[in-house]
Structure 1
Amino acid sequence: MAITMAAAATEAAAASPAWSQLLLAVLGSSVAGGLLTTALGSLRASAEVRRDGYARATSVLVRRTEYAYRVRRRTSDDPATLAELTHLGSEIQEELAWCRAWVAAESAAVSAVFDGVCSEISQEASAWLREAWTLPPVSRPTEMNLGEWGPRAGRDQIARFQSATRFRFGWRRTIPAWIVKRWLRRKEDTSRSVATMGPASDAT
């Protein structure tokens, strides 16, 4: 009897570590699963923040381009209208400054592209904006159709910026920053060269 009880005790003691290891494994997998879920949730949230930030930056580029059209299509030069347009211009400048700071903090490589795009859009839009302020308000519906008047380069610049933002999402985000920066700089240099050359003229 004593021998049987001793043997049972020995078997229980031998089995105990196995149960302990199993319990630790279960707890460990639960903790690891929780950590993994939390990490994936944080990654998704981070991606959403980046997506919203870059969408906001794209939006302000569009608004900067369109502002000259808003001024040109004004229907009055009364103080209220002028004050509203001036306030809108200030809002766009403030938003543009915020976006430049945000993009610079998010990615130095993309920031270089964004700064270049901002400068190019501002250079062209500012010239049209100065002319828009000197022109009289529109007085007939047909005058709302501006024809060839107004900035045209905004679409190409915005497309360049959106192309650069792709490196901040998905598998492209794993590419080393120095490679992305070099590649984007090379693309920017090519774009500036094409813009400087202008459209090729036909041989005569």
Structure 2
Amino acid sequence: YENSQARERTQTLMDYANMVNGLVLGTGDLSEISLGWNTYNGDHMSMYNVNCSVPKTLIPLLINHIAKSMGEDIYNVCLDVINTPISPELLPSTKGDLNQKTEEIIGDYNLHDFFIFNFIDSGSNADRLYVMAKQAFEGMYDEKYIQEVLNKFIRRFFSQQFKRNCSPDGPAIGPISLSPRGAWQMPSDMYSSLWDSVNLSLNDEEFKA
């Protein structure tokens, strides 16, 4: 019943918006939309989603940039937000500590955003994504972890298309958009067996050639 909390939050926001003749702005970003890391008809839904084409790893940079012009008090609050671990906060905390940290569950967003861009922008397959990530994140992540996160990305990207096919409007402000109304048209029941796991049929030398 964790997801029921997200749906109740959304219902409360929409009820209040209706009362004051306002709009509920969505906060789900490109990374969450790609992975389906949201609750269907919960935070997945809004009247307009302002972050739909902004990747998770870019958001702290944007917040920090804007906060510098907002005064010291607001800047300190924004820094606290940036430094707080990413969490849906659907489980109670223990003595103020979060018990639910997103990146411990699905993997680091540095990798996911790398996969999103190179999969959608250039059409790289799983093997190519794996080899590229090994080179790009050498010394930061080991090969096993990269493979685990890539497999999670592939499984979630294909299985969560049904959420993207009924997503709210939002701006296309970057090179990647997953809007079902033009930029990304994909059936929800697309068969993904060719992408279900990293095949590793390419080695580094073949990739460099």
TM-score w.r.t. the length of structure 1 is 0.28
Larger radius of gyration: 1
More helix by share: 1
TM-score w.r.t. the length of structure 2 is 0.28
